[in-house]
Amino acid sequence: MIAVLLVFCAMHVDWRPRCFLAKTEKSHLRDLRTKLKGFTKTIDDLEKGLKVKHFSGNDGCKKGWDRFRDYCYYFNKDKKSWFDAERHCQAEDSSLVNIVDENENKFVMTKSKEANAGHFWIGAINWDSGKWIWGSNFEPVKYFKWTPREPNGSGTSIQCVELYPSSDGTWNDHACPTTFAFVCKKHV
Protein backbone atom coordinates (compact mmCIF):
# COMPACT_ATOMS: atom_id res chain seq x y z
CA MET A 1 0.00 0.00 0.00
CA ILE A 2 1.34 3.39 -0.92
CA ALA A 3 0.17 6.26 1.19
CA VAL A 4 0.57 9.85 0.26
CA LEU A 5 1.25 12.09 3.20
CA LEU A 6 0.25 15.68 2.87
CA VAL A 7 1.93 18.23 5.06
CA PHE A 8 0.59 21.73 5.28
CA CYS A 9 2.92 24.45 6.43
CA ALA A 10 1.79 27.93 7.32
CA MET A 11 3.82 30.99 8.04
CA HIS A 12 2.88 32.80 11.19
CA VAL A 13 3.49 36.36 12.24
CA ASP A 14 6.78 35.43 13.91
CA TRP A 15 8.01 33.97 10.57
CA ARG A 16 8.47 30.43 11.93
CA PRO A 17 6.90 27.75 9.76
CA ARG A 18 4.29 25.57 11.45
CA CYS A 19 3.29 22.29 9.86
CA PHE A 20 -0.04 20.59 10.30
CA LEU A 21 -1.06 17.12 9.18
CA ALA A 22 -4.55 16.65 7.90
CA LYS A 23 -6.62 14.25 10.06
CA THR A 24 -6.75 11.52 7.41
CA GLU A 25 -3.00 11.67 6.89
CA LYS A 26 -2.42 11.38 10.65
CA SER A 27 -4.63 8.30 10.64
CA HIS A 28 -2.68 6.78 7.72
CA LEU A 29 0.59 7.53 9.47
CA ARG A 30 -0.62 5.80 12.66
CA ASP A 31 -1.71 2.77 10.61
CA LEU A 32 1.66 2.60 8.87
CA ARG A 33 3.53 2.78 12.18
CA THR A 34 1.37 -0.02 13.61
CA LYS A 35 1.98 -2.19 10.54
CA LEU A 36 5.70 -1.45 10.66
CA LYS A 37 5.85 -2.56 14.31
CA GLY A 38 4.02 -5.76 13.33
CA PHE A 39 6.46 -6.44 10.48
CA THR A 40 9.41 -5.74 12.77
CA LYS A 41 8.06 -8.20 15.36
CA THR A 42 7.48 -10.82 12.66
CA ILE A 43 11.03 -10.39 11.37
CA ASP A 44 12.43 -10.61 14.92
CA ASP A 45 10.42 -13.79 15.57
CA LEU A 46 11.64 -15.36 12.32
CA GLU A 47 15.26 -14.50 13.13
CA LYS A 48 14.93 -16.03 16.60
CA GLY A 49 13.37 -19.14 15.08
CA LEU A 50 16.24 -19.52 12.62
CA LYS A 51 18.82 -19.24 15.39
CA VAL A 52 17.36 -22.16 17.33
CA LYS A 53 16.18 -24.28 14.42
CA HIS A 54 17.87 -27.65 14.37
CA PHE A 55 18.23 -28.84 10.83
CA SER A 56 17.87 -32.55 10.38
CA GLY A 57 18.25 -34.32 7.07
CA ASN A 58 21.35 -34.51 4.90
CA ASP A 59 21.21 -31.24 2.95
CA GLY A 60 24.80 -30.34 2.18
CA CYS A 61 26.19 -33.65 3.49
CA LYS A 62 27.66 -36.53 1.51
CA LYS A 63 25.57 -39.64 0.95
CA GLY A 64 25.47 -41.72 4.11
CA TRP A 65 26.05 -38.71 6.36
CA ASP A 66 23.29 -37.12 8.46
CA ARG A 67 22.85 -33.42 9.04
CA PHE A 68 22.07 -31.77 12.38
CA ARG A 69 22.38 -28.00 12.72
CA ASP A 70 25.42 -26.94 10.66
CA TYR A 71 27.23 -30.28 10.83
CA CYS A 72 27.34 -33.62 9.06
CA TYR A 73 27.63 -36.85 11.06
CA TYR A 74 28.73 -40.30 9.97
CA PHE A 75 27.78 -43.29 12.13
CA ASN A 76 30.40 -45.88 11.25
CA LYS A 77 29.62 -49.46 12.35
CA ASP A 78 33.22 -50.65 11.85
CA LYS A 79 34.89 -51.48 15.15
CA LYS A 80 38.11 -49.51 15.71
CA SER A 81 40.21 -48.29 18.61
CA TRP A 82 39.63 -44.65 19.56
CA PHE A 83 42.88 -43.59 17.84
CA ASP A 84 42.13 -45.55 14.64
CA ALA A 85 38.59 -44.15 14.63
CA GLU A 86 39.96 -40.59 14.90
CA ARG A 87 42.39 -41.29 12.03
CA HIS A 88 39.52 -42.68 9.94
CA CYS A 89 37.42 -39.56 10.60
CA GLN A 90 40.38 -37.30 9.71
CA ALA A 91 40.73 -39.13 6.39
CA GLU A 92 37.12 -38.01 5.76
CA ASP A 93 37.98 -34.36 6.64
CA SER A 94 36.18 -34.75 9.96
CA SER A 95 36.93 -35.80 13.53
CA LEU A 96 35.32 -37.91 16.22
CA VAL A 97 32.19 -36.09 17.34
CA ASN A 98 32.48 -33.40 20.00
CA ILE A 99 29.08 -33.11 21.67
CA VAL A 100 28.29 -29.61 22.92
CA ASP A 101 24.81 -29.90 24.46
CA GLU A 102 21.88 -32.16 25.37
CA ASN A 103 20.13 -31.71 21.99
CA GLU A 104 23.20 -32.83 20.08
CA ASN A 105 23.67 -35.76 22.47
CA LYS A 106 20.05 -36.83 21.85
CA PHE A 107 20.61 -36.63 18.08
CA VAL A 108 23.79 -38.74 18.30
CA MET A 109 22.07 -41.23 20.63
CA THR A 110 19.04 -41.61 18.32
CA LYS A 111 21.14 -42.11 15.20
CA SER A 112 23.47 -44.50 17.06
CA LYS A 113 20.48 -46.60 18.10
CA GLU A 114 19.31 -46.69 14.47
CA ALA A 115 22.77 -47.88 13.38
CA ASN A 116 22.41 -50.76 15.87
CA ALA A 117 26.15 -51.28 16.34
CA GLY A 118 26.50 -51.23 20.12
CA HIS A 119 28.65 -48.61 21.80
CA PHE A 120 30.15 -45.69 19.86
CA TRP A 121 33.36 -43.76 20.40
CA ILE A 122 32.97 -39.99 20.68
CA GLY A 123 35.85 -37.50 20.60
CA ALA A 124 36.55 -36.94 24.31
CA ILE A 125 39.82 -38.18 25.79
CA ASN A 126 41.52 -37.89 29.18
CA TRP A 127 45.25 -37.25 28.68
CA ASP A 128 45.76 -36.00 32.24
CA SER A 129 43.87 -37.52 35.12
CA GLY A 130 40.51 -35.77 35.45
CA LYS A 131 40.96 -33.38 32.51
CA TRP A 132 38.67 -34.27 29.63
CA ILE A 133 39.36 -32.63 26.26
CA TRP A 134 38.12 -33.03 22.72
CA GLY A 135 40.86 -34.87 20.82
CA SER A 136 40.23 -32.92 17.61
CA ASN A 137 40.95 -29.43 18.98
CA PHE A 138 42.23 -30.02 22.56
CA GLU A 139 39.48 -27.80 24.00
CA PRO A 140 38.08 -28.76 27.42
CA VAL A 141 34.85 -30.74 27.41
CA LYS A 142 32.13 -28.50 28.89
CA TYR A 143 29.06 -30.69 28.44
CA PHE A 144 29.01 -34.18 29.99
CA LYS A 145 26.43 -36.99 30.05
CA TRP A 146 28.09 -39.56 32.30
CA THR A 147 26.50 -42.86 33.24
CA PRO A 148 26.04 -43.01 37.04
CA ARG A 149 29.35 -43.65 38.86
CA GLU A 150 31.35 -42.62 35.79
CA PRO A 151 33.99 -41.71 34.93
CA ASN A 152 35.68 -44.32 37.06
CA GLY A 153 39.08 -44.44 35.36
CA SER A 154 39.25 -48.22 35.13
CA GLY A 155 41.73 -49.63 32.66
CA THR A 156 44.71 -47.71 31.29
CA SER A 157 45.84 -44.24 32.34
CA ILE A 158 44.59 -42.68 29.10
CA GLN A 159 40.82 -43.00 28.89
CA CYS A 160 38.50 -42.29 25.97
CA VAL A 161 34.73 -41.85 25.96
CA GLU A 162 32.11 -44.20 24.56
CA LEU A 163 28.41 -43.38 24.21
CA TYR A 164 25.76 -45.93 25.24
CA PRO A 165 22.86 -45.54 22.77
CA SER A 166 20.72 -48.01 24.72
CA SER A 167 21.21 -46.16 28.02
CA ASP A 168 19.73 -42.76 27.10
CA GLY A 169 22.96 -41.68 25.41
CA THR A 170 25.03 -41.70 28.59
CA TRP A 171 28.82 -41.81 28.49
CA ASN A 172 31.45 -44.12 29.93
CA ASP A 173 35.23 -43.81 30.11
CA HIS A 174 36.98 -46.80 28.59
CA ALA A 175 40.46 -47.93 27.59
CA CYS A 176 41.23 -46.31 24.22
CA PRO A 177 42.56 -49.50 22.52
CA THR A 178 39.13 -51.16 22.87
CA THR A 179 37.27 -51.36 19.57
CA PHE A 180 33.84 -49.78 19.13
CA ALA A 181 31.79 -48.24 16.34
CA PHE A 182 32.31 -44.47 16.12
CA VAL A 183 30.77 -41.15 15.07
CA CYS A 184 32.51 -38.61 12.83
CA LYS A 185 31.47 -34.96 12.64
CA LYS A 186 32.35 -32.15 10.24
CA HIS A 187 31.05 -28.71 9.38
CA VAL A 188 28.68 -28.51 6.39
User: pLDDT digits over 23-42, tens only?
Assistant: 677 676 677 777 777 777 77
Residue 130 lies in a domain: yes
Q: Does 82 share its domain with 45?
A: no
The answer to whether the CB of 129 falls within 8 A of the CB of 103 is: no
Q: Does 60 share its domain with 48?
A: no
**What is the average pLDDT value for the chain, to the nearest integer?**
83
- The mean pLDDT of 6-22, rounded to a whole number, is 51
CATH number at residue 165: 3.10.100.10
User: pLDDT digits over 47-97, tens only?
Assistant: 665 544 444 556 899 999 999 999 999 999 999 999 999 999 999 999 999
Q: Does 91 share its domain with 154?
A: yes
- The mean pLDDT of 156-167, rounded to a whole number, is 88
pLDDT of the residue at 102: 97
Range of the domain at 25: 7-52
Residue 1 lies in a domain: no
pLDDT exceeds 50 at position 114: yes
Residue 26 lies in a domain: yes
Residue 2 lies in a domain: no
| Closest C-alpha among 117, 116, 102, 120 to residue 172 | 120
pLDDT of the residue at 118: 93
Q: Does 32 share its domain with 105?
A: no
The answer to whether the CB of 135 falls within 8 A of the CB of 96 is: yes
| Closest C-alpha among 106, 66, 84, 81 to residue 186 | 66
Residue 109 lies in a domain: yes
